[in-house]
Structure 1
Amino acid sequence: MHPVVAEVTARIVERSTTTRASYLARIRAAAERGPARGKLGCANLAHGFAASEPGEKQALRRTVPTAKPNVAIVTSYNDMLSAHQPYGAYPPVLKKAVVRAGGIAQVAGGVPAMCDGITQGRDGMQLSLFSRDVIAMSAGIALSHDMFDGALMLGVCDKIVPGLFIGALSFGHLPTVFVPAGPMASGLPNGEKAKVRQLFAEGKVGREELLEAESASYHSKGTCTFYGTANSNQLLMEVMGLHLPGSSFVNPDTPLRDALTRAAAERVVAITRAGGEPTPIGELVDERVIVNACVALLASGGSTNHTLHLVAMARAAGVVLTWEDLSDLSAVVPLLARVYPNGQADVNHFHAAGGVGYLIRTLVGGGLLHDDVMTVMGRGLAAHYTKEPVLRGDHLTWEEGPTRSLDTEVLRPVEQPFSADGGLKVLRGPLGTAVIKTSAVKPEHRVVTAPALVFDDQADFLAAFAAGELEGRDLVAVIRYQGPAANGMPELHKLTPALGVLQDRGQKVAIVTDGRMSGASGKVPAAIHVTPEAACGGPLARVRDGDLVTVDAERGVLTLEDPAVLHGREATGRAPQGEEWAGTGRELFAAFRATVGPADAGASVFPGYAAPAQEVPVVQSV
């Protein structure tokens, strides 16, 4: 094991001693011999199977330890979103497969699934991050009936998988398998789509040309093919041992995808107590598994959104993960994948080059992943997850996967990385603490010192760009009042084309924000998730136009030329208030904005997940 990975793991274990022990005690107390439904009163139990078929009713009536295990299906299906549309057909397939494996299954509930790609730049985006915790609560409601002995979680995209994960861990005594739906087939290459976006931002092509390019890229059912948060989710679930091996990036509506879906249902029955291989998710997800997720995220160049999600997901298992842990791991974990926006390939190309299985093989071989962990397939990560699924006629089997990359322009071994580090750093200084992803930022753009231009809304920045006010000048765009307590921390991905245009013109540009940038963002240096946020009195509230700001991704610094100017300044600007929140559902989330924790603690509304209240950093030179 690499000494830094071992050291980070050890300090997480030590830091988490109390919270992890408390969590394990709670889920072990919840675990009972035999189906939980055995403790239900007769009227309660009758409600639980009233709508079932006669054979299912008979099975569900049995509550002795030899009764069949009942599996909850929790689904994020809707037919508007391409990634989740395939799930509409899953419940009957899963139910039949569970029955064949000796169990019973019920659709326990649904969770909302929204798409950041649709809501970019719209008011609805201000609900996006909070939807993660709503999903976690919805999953908790679905599992709350004490009818179940295991669970199948159906979800793919940005907040959906982290939310399902957190919800599942609140019922950590239940064995749980996550069931992916797969990416859409490759369409218009992501690089070409990005070029059209920039041309549109410059006014060189019209809306019809832009819509045609977008439609050729996002063209069918399945996950979007760039390596943003959705596909980062899929890779992480596999590396954490919660997917079946090799299942993350198999396209929808293929025989192999269908076979893997059935196999997931069979596997969850096997890992229930009645199935003989009891594997509760709360026992499976330990400190080593969390570190494995961090390493895989960094090695693959995954989404910066997981600097929020992984922290919150870890806390759901009683594990205390920090940005410092991620930053220290990033310094020693090499970047092994080039998938858009960090390269020209998409996730289908990544999968064809060897995919998750090869990534695990080379990371384990390099001492960067913990191998001796539990998975839904059994103990040992490399023993199970370096294999790939293969259909032999109608029979699904797993065979040894590639022992070398099949395309070193997309996926490389530890010994031949694209870069020596994972491209994620923590920035610190008088303006607060932030994270920056550098894997897609060229070295010559990683240090920017320029006058600040301050905006309290991304629309104001885009208006200034459209008016030509940003041409011919170096600048650090400070987009503030975008944190979780201010407006729900929307993604600011619509800024990327405009910033890219300025950078391509030879201007030095960077962005500093207490908001989020999408996992699809990349080439412009972005100091994001700044905490403390402006709405909570953070230093960004006192920055003014013309202040000389430095974003230094090499040294990990976020500072002003003269930090002392912040002393005595009054805060300017403000977050939306009162009636400004009315409409598009935003008024429903006032309680979330009032109670949400800071970004570096996962931006969660759940008690116990938030870090202690942070003080505004001492203003000093760095």
Structure 2
Amino acid sequence: MNPVVSAVTDRIIERSRPTRAPYLALIERERETWIGRPRLGCANLAHAYAGTPEDRDAMKADAGMNIGIVTAYNDMLSAHAVYYRYPELMKVWAREVGATAQVAGGVPAMCDGVTQGYAGMELSLFSRDTIALSTAVALSHGTFEGAALLGICDKIVPGLLMGALRFGHLPMILIPGGPMPTGIPNKTKAAVRERYATGEASREELLDSEIAAYHGQGTCTFYGTANTNQMMMEVMGLHMPGAAFVNPGTKLRQQLTRAATQRLAAIGWRGQDYRPIGHCVDEKAIVNAAVGLLATGGSTNHLLHLPAIARAGGIVIDWDDIDRLSGAVPTIARVYPNGSADVNGFEAAGGMPYVIRELLGSGHLHRDIMTVAGDDLTPYGTRPTLDGDTLAWTPAGPSGDETILRHPADPFTPDGGVRIVTGNIGRACMKVSAVERDRWVVEAPARVFSDQLDVLAAFQAGELERDVVVVVRFQGPRANGMPELHKLTPALGVLQNRGYRVALVTDGRMSGASGKVPAAIHVSPEALGGGAIGLIRDGDLIRVDAETGTLEALVAPDEWATRDPADAPPAATGMGRELFGLFRGLADEAEKGASAVLAGAGL
């Protein structure tokens, strides 16, 4: 193993001992005392079987596994629209191996692309906690010996895992749907957005461009949070190998879903190959997820999601771990916004089988983890293929395009492109893999805002035509649910294109597709409650420095110490935001995952 990866893993194992041991004891107790089908009362079972008369006799005989399907289907979210007929097909495939399947429940699946920049986005992060709760409700019936988790996008996969890990004695497999085919190039889309921001493109031209990019069923093709989720499920061994980026509607996609359904029937506790999700997701699997994130230039949202997923399994990972790993893990993939290729180009160049095989070979991934497919991660370095109707896996070949995928010995950069920056403003994350090196350090006067719409208004009024650090505060989980601020990217990109030194500092989030503008995000402590980002005033000289890991207001210490925090705006209402007041009140800091349900549970 790479010595840094090994040392960080040991650090996480040691730090997690007080929480991981009770978690493992919990899932062992749940297995022994589970109120499952043999122990449920007859009336309880009759209720459970009444909705599926075609499988009632098999369920009554209790001869095979009953698989609970937890689905995030809706047809407003392109990535999840493909799930429409999955349960119907999965029931057929379960019967082929003597098992049964039922839809245990649905979870909400909002599209950040729809709510981006609007009030609904303030529900986005806490939809993850809602999904975790919904997953727990779905699995609470006790009538399932395993579960298939149908989810892909930003908060859905983390939320499903957070809920699923509290039922860690059950075997579970995540089943993706795949990315939509390639539309217009992402750089073309970004250029039209910037032209629209400056008034050079009409709304009709912008809409036509966006529709040409987001044009069909499947995951959006840029490498944002949704596709980073799929990468992580592969390196953690929770998919069928190679399932992440196979397009919807193909025979290979269908056979991978069939294989996942039938694999679940083989890894239950009644058989000889019991693989509970609580043991699959261990400290080494969590480190693998972090390594994959860094090696492929994945979404910064996972600096929130990965700690939350880990906590649900009794594991503690922090930003220092990510920072240390980033210094040791080479970037071997270039996928938009970190390159020109989309995920379909990434898949064609070798995709996850190539990435996993190479990172195993270089000692950056832990091979010895329990996966849903085998006793270690080795199968995930192979590519799924069809021989007629028969699914098989073949060794991954060399990179098909070295502008997209490279060997770890000849990487795009020798590190993982994530920096943790600290200073008198607080502690924050920066993704620099898509930022030009000469933009890693910005020192400029601050312009302070408490609403992203005010930033856009100032841009339109020409008030930001200078070197500037745009500070957007009161965007943390306790203040307004920590919305993504991706709507600012075109405007800030325009300023940067005009030659100005520009950076963003915020206690909110940026999109998983954030790119070329340096941004110190997830600033913690957040402004609400007295975080130092609330002390910044217009005109303060701010230094954002990814080279040295510095985030400083260059203000005399005596003055800084005597400043009063800015007043928080009133809590917003409308669009259901008031219903999430409990979540905002309980949410903990970003580095712990910004979760209300985990904090409320004392995890």
TM over 0.5: yes
Q: Secondary structure at the match of 1:606?
A: helix
CA contact (8 A) 1:602 1:609 kept: no
Counterparts of residues 547-566 of structure 1 (less than 5 Å):
547-564=540-557, 565-566=559-560
* Residue in 2 that maps onto 1:586: 577
* Residue in 2 that maps onto 1:389: 384
Q: Deviations over 1:195-236 (max 9, x none)?
A: 010000011111011111101000000000000000000010
CA contact (8 A) 1:315 1:609 kept: no
What CA distance in whole angstroms lies between the structure 1 residues aligned with 2:483 and 2:560? Answer: 26
Q: Deviations over 1:101-148 (max 9, x none)?
A: 221111000000001111011100000000001000000000000001
CA contact (8 A) 1:298 1:422 kept: yes
What CA distance in whole angstroms lies between the structure 1 residues aligned with 2:294 and 2:164? Answer: 25
* Residue in 2 that maps onto 1:505: 498
What CA distance in whole angstroms lies between the structure 2 residues aligned with 1:399 and 1:410? Answer: 21
Q: Do the aligned partners of residues 563 and 110 (structure 1) sit closer, same or farther apart at CA in structure 2, a change above 3 Å counting?
A: farther
Does the alignment pair 1:197 with 2:188? no
CA contact (8 A) 1:551 1:558 kept: yes
* Residue in 2 that maps onto 1:456: 450
Does 150-159 or 271-280 show the bigger shift? 271-280
Q: Deviations over 1:312-348 (max 9, x none)?
A: 0001110000000000000010111110000000000
What CA distance in whole angstroms lies between the structure 1 residues aligned with 2:208 and 2:449? Answer: 32
What CA distance in whole angstroms lies between the structure 1 residues aligned with 2:600 and 2:249? Answer: 39
Q: Which residue of 414, 420, 436 maps to 2:430?
A: 436
Q: Secondary structure at the match of 1:16?
A: helix
Q: Deviations over 1:152-198 (max 9, x none)?
A: 00000000000001111011000000000000000001011000100
CA contact (8 A) 2:81 2:217 kept: yes
* 1:457 Cα offset (Å): 0.4
* 1:34 Cα offset (Å): 9.5
Paired amino acid for 2:536: V
Does the alignment pair 1:359 with 2:362? no
CA contact (8 A) 2:282 2:313 kept: yes
* Residue in 1 that maps onto 2:324: 328
* Residue in 1 that maps onto 2:164: 168
Q: Secondary structure at the match of 1:84?
A: helix
* Residue in 1 that maps onto 2:370: 374
* 1:35 Cα offset (Å): 8.4
5+ unaligned residues in a row in structure 2: which ranges? none
Paired amino acid for 1:462: L
Q: Secondary structure at the match of 1:71?
A: strand
Which portions of structure 1, spanning 4 or more consecutive aligned residues, are displaced by more than 6 angstroms? 609-612
Does the alignment pair 1:603 with 2:587? no
Q: Do the aligned partners of residues 607 and 243 (structure 1) sit closer, same or farther apart at CA in structure 2, a change above 3 Å counting?
A: closer
* Residue in 2 that maps onto 1:481: 474
* Residue in 1 that maps onto 2:7: 7
CA contact (8 A) 1:441 1:525 kept: yes
* Residue in 1 that maps onto 2:394: 399
Paired amino acid for 2:389: D
What CA distance in whole angstroms lies between the structure 2 residues aligned with 1:328 and 1:563? Answer: 31
Q: Secondary structure at the match of 1:138?
A: helix
Q: Secondary structure at the match of 2:505?
A: strand
User: Normalising to structure 2: TM-score of the pair?
Assistant: 0.98
Percent identity of equivalent pairs: 58
Q: Secondary structure at the match of 1:593?
A: helix
Counterparts of residues 113-152 of structure 1 (less than 5 Å):
113-152=109-148
Paired amino acid for 1:378: G
What CA distance in whole angstroms lies between the structure 2 residues aligned with 1:608 and 1:587? Answer: 20
What CA distance in whole angstroms lies between the structure 1 residues aligned with 2:585 and 2:33? Answer: 41
* 1:606 Cα offset (Å): 2.2
User: Normalising to structure 1: TM-score of the pair?
Assistant: 0.95
Paired amino acid for 1:517: M
* Residue in 1 that maps onto 2:28: 28
The number of residues matched between the two structures is: 602
CA contact (8 A) 2:586 2:600 kept: no
Q: Secondary structure at the match of 2:258?
A: helix
Paired amino acid for 2:464: L
Q: Deviations over 1:286-324 (max 9, x none)?
A: 000000000000000000000000000001110000000
What CA distance in whole angstroms lies between the structure 2 residues aligned with 1:219 and 1:187? Answer: 7
What CA distance in whole angstroms lies between the structure 2 residues aligned with 1:571 and 1:273? Answer: 55
* 1:573 Cα offset (Å): 3.7
5+ unaligned residues in a row in structure 1: which ranges? 613-622
Aligned CA-pair RMSD: 1.3
Q: Do the aligned partners of residues 460 and 184 (structure 1) sit closer, same or farther apart at CA in structure 2, a change above 3 Å counting?
A: same
Q: Secondary structure at the match of 2:94?
A: helix
* 1:46 Cα offset (Å): 1.3
Does the alignment pair 1:213 with 2:213? no
Q: Which residue of 409, 417, 430 maps to 2:411?
A: 417
Paired amino acid for 1:235: M
* 1:560 Cα offset (Å): 1.6
Paired amino acid for 1:514: D
What CA distance in whole angstroms lies between the structure 2 residues aligned with 1:274 and 1:102? Answer: 13
Paired amino acid for 1:26: L
What CA distance in whole angstroms lies between the structure 1 residues aligned with 2:370 and 2:380? Answer: 12
Q: Do the aligned partners of residues 584 and 104 (structure 1) sit closer, same or farther apart at CA in structure 2, a change above 3 Å counting?
A: same
